[in-house]
């Protein structure tokens, strides 16, 4: 079987993509490892963190903030509700809108877990200087916006 021809620009892009994905996968695994101690998944933590910093959000907006589909988010919020970390509330003026908010237990948990999360991220990114982190941030933003 003949291999497809790849030009230098394509090879460079593929090489860069593979490195980006490997770095992302490793960082995601290592950064979220501490969440196991709190019996939280990455998605559960993302919901708690968004509500902690942004306040109560309708479920659709929450999904957009943490980049989860509505179906996936429903499962995540269900699990957090069972743990008494969040509550859902239907708006009287529009019963289709469901607002999710932290319970006192959820607020206490994320308030305790978030500083450790920041510490772990800072430790992982210490491999780069502050200038390199800023440069990487600019490059990733450019790549993410497609401009």
For residue range 84-131, list pLDDT tens digits in order. 999 999 877 777 788 999 999 999 999 999 999 999 999 999 999 999
Interior angle at CA 125, CA 124 and CA 129, nearest 5: 145
pLDDT of 69 over the 90 cut: no
pLDDT band at 1; cut points 50, 70, 90: confident
Burial of 10 (0-12, 13-18, 19+ CB in 10 A): exposed
Amino acid 84: pLDDT: 97
What pLDDT was estimated at residue 134?
A: 97
Average pLDDT over residues 58-62: 90
Could you tell me the CA-to-CA distances from 109 to 103, 120, 127 in Å, in that order? 10, 17, 29
The model's pLDDT over 6-52, given as tens digits with 9 standing for 90+, comes to: 899 999 999 999 999 999 999 999 999 999 999 999 999 999 999 99
Q: How far apart are CA 146 and CA 29, in angstroms?
A: 26
Compute the distance between CA of residue 104 and CA of residue 119 in angstroms, rounded to an integer: 24
Give the model's pLDDT for residue 19: 96
Mean pLDDT of the chain: 92
């Amino acid at each position: 079987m003949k291999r497809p021809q790849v030009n230098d620009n394509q090879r460079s892009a593929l090489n860069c993509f593979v490195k980006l994905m490997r770095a992302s996968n490793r960082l995601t695994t290592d950064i979220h490892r501490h969440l196991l101690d709190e019996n939280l998944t990455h998605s559960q933590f993302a919901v708690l963190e968004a509500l902690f910093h942004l306040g109560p959000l309708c479920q659709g907006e929450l999904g957009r903030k943490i980049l989860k589909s509505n179906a996936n988010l429903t499962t995540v919020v269900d699990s957090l509700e069972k743990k008494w970390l969040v509550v859902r509330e239907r708006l009287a003026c529009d019963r289709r809108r469901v607002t999710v908010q932290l319970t006192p237990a959820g607020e206490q948990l994320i308030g305790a877990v978030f500083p450790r999360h920041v510490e772990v991220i800072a430790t992982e990114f210490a491999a780069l200087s502050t200038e390199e982190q800023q440069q990487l941030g600019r490059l990733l933003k450019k790549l993410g916006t497609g401009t």
